[in-house]
Structure 1
Amino acid sequence: MKYLVLLLVLLLGIGTWRSRRAAQGSAPPPRASAQDMPACAHCGVHIPQAEAWTLGNQAYCCAEHRQLGPG
């Protein structure tokens, strides 16, 4: 008899957990949009394209490396 009660409590808990999960939505959280991550031509550090210092088709992580050029 106690195993039957334990089974009922377990099933009730699983049912409650699944219903709350379904109410919240099971879709994964939104991710940040992907963007290009070029490597610095001097040191090789990858940086977001929006933050890169560019000279021609080369990307650099900072103004100093842009002045120094490819390492």
Structure 2
Amino acid sequence: MKYLLVLAVVWVAIWLWRKNRREEMQERAARTPRPASPPAVGAPQAMVRCAHCGLHLPASDAVRGTDGTPYCSAAHRQVAERA
């Protein structure tokens, strides 16, 4: 009989401990700021290939040659135009 009483006391102690721990976790989760929404991702961009080295880059970042050929940098454009 006394073992049953000890078991009941241990069970109540564990139950109270878990209940308090659950409440602390909920309070901690409520205090931490969450991002309102995921960061917006822009629309896909057209990719072009550098005429000199073959690097693929967004068309908006490309440097255009005199004939409209895309290059990855001004140095590659100058090298290609000299040749």
TM (norm. structure 2) is 0.51
| Structure 1 counterpart SS, 2:51 | coil
Q: Which runs of 5+ in 1 are unaligned?
A: none
Alpha-carbon offset, residue 3 of structure 1 = 1.5
What is the number of residues matched between the two proteins? 66
Question: What is the CA–CA distance in structure 2 between the aligned matches of 1:26 and 1:66, rounded to whole Å?
Answer: 44
Question: What is the CA–CA distance in structure 2 between the aligned matches of 1:36 and 1:10, rounded to whole Å?
Answer: 52
Question: What is the CA–CA distance in structure 1 between the aligned matches of 2:14 and 2:53, rounded to whole Å?
Answer: 65
Question: What is the CA–CA distance in structure 2 between the aligned matches of 1:49 and 1:12, rounded to whole Å?
Answer: 53
Alpha-carbon offset, residue 49 of structure 1 = 2.5
For residue 15 of structure 1, what is the aligned residue in structure 2? Answer: 26
Question: Highest Rg: 1 or 2?
Answer: 2
Distance 1:14 1:29, change over 3 A: farther
For residue 46 of structure 1, what is the aligned residue in structure 2? Answer: 56
1:64 aligns to 2:75 (yes or no)? yes
Question: Which has the larger share of helix?
Answer: 2
Q: Which runs of 5+ in 2 are unaligned?
A: 1-11
RMSD: 2.9
Query: Percent identity of the aligned residues?
Result: 30
Question: What is the CA–CA distance in structure 2 between the aligned matches of 1:61 and 1:25, rounded to whole Å?
Answer: 36
Residues 12-71 of structure 1: CA deviation (Å, up to 9, x unaligned): 133220x346x645521334x2433422121122333333111345310122322416xx
